[in-house]
Amino acid sequence: MSAFKAPPKKNLGQHFLVDRRYIDMIVLAVDPKPGDRLVEIGPGQGAITLPLLRRHGELTVIEFDRDLITPLMESSEGVGRLTVIHKDVLQVDFSKLAADDGHETSRIRLVGNLPYNISSPILFHALDHAAAVQDMTFMLQKEVVDRMAAGPGSKVYGRLGVMLQAYCRVEALFDVPPGAFRPPPKVDSAVVRLMPLPADAIGIVDHALFARVVRDAFGQRRKTLRNALQQVCSGEDIAEAGLLPEARAEQVEVADFKRLANHLAALPPGRRPA
């Protein structure tokens, strides 16, 4: 009999995966290897947790809902070594977690069926610790995955996709229908893999400035770069970086955003963004 008796909590955005086919597909996508340090965000009722633990033997999970912790520990008995961190994932320092000297490797592999109501903050939090992460395999709302993987010219190409693609290789893997969950969400889901780029391949001089340029450029999508970025730089600065001041953000490649931010970072103090 299942140790999980509490119903899903709407306020936590809980939708538990129950379809074995998709559970197996996610475990196959993660494909843990000996020595890997797996960290699952939001294990819920253990749909992915227990198969991963059974295959890998060791797993750390981050769970905010205290009502799920005891059932998770009970279900894992005899399956493998489960470490539970009872905390809001946005308060977890992934870099510190990866620096644990008790393991063979210094980077972690993140897995999770992310709560849809806070998926973007979790993605940006993981991005802040990308150097400590080997890869991420997440299930999210399909609309979010589409935005993450979109390229220039797409209607859903925006800040989220540019920021993630600037630091990671983003690969949409497969869709998951509402019926695979209990209770079924009102939207389709999808699984995505993010592979953080090596530091020397990122090529961003000032990370805060890059983030500001991307945020302002997409702040008002219908505006040209000249107008959207007027609090950051001039049309002349944009042209000097090799971009068209009259272009809109949705037309600009990730590499061009990097080039613009790096050009601004190299300007003399009097012209550099404050």
Strand stretches in 101-246, DSSP E: 108-113, 133-141, 168-176, 181-182, 189-196
Q: Which amino acid is at 65?
A: D
Q: Which two tokens stand for residue 28?
A: 């196959």
- Residue 31 in marked binding region: no
- Residue 262 in marked binding region: no
Distance CA 254, CA 256 (A): 5
Strand partners of residue 63 = 86
- Residue 38 in marked binding region: no
Kindly give, in sequence order, each residue whose CB lies less than 8 Å from that of residue 36, ignoring residues fewer than 6 positions away.
56, 105, 109, 134
Q: Which two tokens stand for residue 265?
A: 């970072």
- Residue 63 in marked binding region: yes
Kindly give, in sequence order, each residue whose CB lies less than 8 Å from that of residue 221, ignoring residues fewer than 6 positions away.
158, 248, 249, 250
Q: Position of tokens 């797409």?
A: 154
Task: Give the residue ranges of the annotated binding site for S-adenosyl-L-methionine.
Answer: 15, 17, 42, 63, 88, 113
Task: Give the residue ranges of the annotated binding site.
Answer: 15, 17, 42, 63, 88, 113
